[in-house]
Amino acid sequence: MTSTTKEVDLEILPFIRVYKDGSVERLEGTPFAPPTPDQDPETGVSSKDITISENPSVSARLYLPKLTDHTQNQKLPILVYFHGGAFCIESAFGSLYHRYLNNLVSQVHVLAISVEYRLAPEHLLPAAYEDSWAALQWVISQSAGNDKEPWLINNGDFGRIFIGGDSAGGNIVHNMAIRAGVESLPCGVKILGAYLVHPYFFSSKAYGSESKEGHEKSLPYVVWDFVYPSATGGVDNPMLNPEGPGAPSLTGIGCDRMLVCVAGKDELIKERGVWYFEIMRKSGWKGEIELFEVEEEDHIFHIFNIENENAKAMVKRLASFIFE
């Protein structure tokens, strides 16, 4: 009698398992949550899904806060958001990020676009970067007013474009800002601010309190080799190491302001967020950069528990960043 047990080819705990027959099992991630076009009962936020590109497949979920008679004609800041998940799990359409964006949009009063980019290993990097860039270009192209997406055209302020993300999404934010500084965005629109929460950066050399022994077996190292096996320079590729060989000058980053958030108990990549802040601060970039640390919390705590008092403090900090 033949065994039906599939052989494991590779697993990266706690995220993903790949079998020798090519099938993929995601060990983490949340189920699909439908959008609420007629307003979420808890927050009053409306949401809907849109297709940005058929081939490759890029889509997004748009969020519009509840508008009153007083705010009906008020133009709102636009936040393009990139979810986390090590480039291989989670979704803009999952219940975790749907709940987080609903809350964020209602509290901060922004118009948000949560990008659904393709995941590894089915679509290895740089697919997620290309999808994210396509989504950012699509959002900004709406400023031409060609009546494509009424929420953006009627309610969005294209003079106040922000990009934000957590973990792998924070890494995407950096790479979108770099690219925006090199390539022109549509219609001459500029990114005003970038918001990086517990961003995923790394390098071949241990930094700070990171252990030199077993560095190559650490989770950030292993994940990168899994999601971007063809990356020139491996973990020193400029996409992951902003100081890596051949990295573009940080002085040309295409935004005016940055907010970097770290969590004190985030043992995997907290120090990399501080490292990134220091690199940017010393780079000669002419923009403003701030570091916001919550000492007693862990990685992306604010998304798992939006009712946490420190999570609420982070939302307030983002609001002051956007509206300062």
Give the whole-angstrom CA distance, residue 294 versus residue 263.
Answer: 5
Give residue 79's identity as a one-letter amino acid code: L
Q: Is 167 a catalytic residue?
A: yes
Instruction: Determine contact, residues 198/273, Cβ cutoff 8 Å.
Output: yes
Q: Exactly one of 167, 174, 198, 302 is catalytic; which is it?
A: 167
Which three-class secondary structure state does DSSP give residue 78? strand
Beta carbons within 10 angstroms of residue 207's beta carbon: 13
Strand order in the sheet with 156-166: 46-53, 58-64, 111-116, 76-82, 156-166, 191-197, 255-263, 288-294
Q: At what angle do helices 168-182 and 127-141 cross, to 10 degrees?
A: 60
Which three-class secondary structure state does DSSP give residue 194? strand
Give the whole-angstrom CA distance, residue 32 versus residue 12.
Answer: 23
Give the whole-angstrom CA distance, residue 117 versus residue 47.
Answer: 18
Q: Is 266 a catalytic residue?
A: yes
Strand partners, 76: 156
Beta carbons within 10 angstroms of residue 159's beta carbon: 12
Catalytic residue numbers? 167, 266, 299
